[in-house]
């Protein structure tokens, strides 16, 4: 039994010290994940990797109980996803707020969509996939938002690596098609 699993079980039993001991064990992995996710954003973000990790961790240590390491990292992936989506929505709300006026721009002056809109398109498509096939959506969250490898995600979901590979291929294709059909213009594809 890993130290993470042992501490999660202790926290589930009500040990208040377990949460404090858990953070140092998972911090480096969560920070690497946050750095990777924020590297895809434009420079000058108000949310830095440390803030993202702390916000995600605060959301995780509330009243939730975790059945093991895989469940914890699945919840961490979902927390990070929600934080990034909330930030993207805030940016889009400010960008389209009442203080701005519409300006006609020549088509040749347009640039590619901002990463925030790509993340929102991915989020919407992922929600649609979750309605259709929750396990495949969970696999995408673990791979894309939690940064788990294919084998780690398969273990967390309790499926074989070959099944995880098939689900991953299907989910990537489904998400890409859904995003393109949704009119985003560019498909945000989870990397392998």
Q: Where are the domains of the chain?
A: 3-97+110-181
For the ranges 9-13, 59-63, 97-101, 172-176, the lowest mean pLDDT is seen at 97-101
Cβ(117)–Cβ(85) below 8 Å: no
Whether the pTM exceeds 0.85: the reply is no
Determine how many CB atoms are found less than 10 A away from the CB of residue 145. 26
- Per-residue pLDDT band at 161 (split at 50, 70, 90): very high
| Distance in angstroms (rounded) separating the CA atoms of residues 86 and 101 | 24
How far is the CA of 168 from the CAs of 24, 36, 72, 89, 116, in angstroms? 31, 20, 20, 27, 23
pLDDT (tens digit per residue) in 27-58: 888 888 888 877 777 666 677 888 888 888 88
């Amino acid at each position: 039994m890993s130290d993470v699993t042992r501490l999660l079980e202790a926290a589930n039993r009500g040990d208040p010290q377990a949460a404090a001991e858990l953070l140092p064990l998972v911090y480096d992995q969560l920070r690497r994940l946050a750095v990777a996710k924020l590297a895809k954003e434009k420079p000058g973000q108000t949310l830095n990797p440390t803030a993202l990790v702390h916000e995600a961790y605060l959301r995780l240590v509330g009243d939730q109980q975790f059945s093991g390491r895989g469940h914890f990292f699945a919840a961490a992936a979902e927390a990070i996803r929600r934080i990034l989506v909330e930030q993207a929505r805030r940016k889009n709300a400010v960008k389209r707020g009442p203080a701005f006026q519409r300006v006609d721009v020549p088509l040749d002056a347009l640039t590619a969509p901002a990463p925030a809109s790509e993340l929102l398109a991915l989020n919407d498509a992922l929600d649609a996939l979750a309605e259709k096939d929750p396990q495949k959506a969970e696999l995408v969250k673990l791979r894309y938002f939690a940064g788990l490898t294919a084998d780690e995600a398969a273990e967390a979901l309790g499926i074989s690596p070959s099944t995880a590979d098939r689900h991953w291929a299907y989910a990537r294709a489904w998400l890409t098609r859904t995003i393109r059909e949704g009119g985003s213009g560019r498909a945000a594809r989870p990397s392998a």
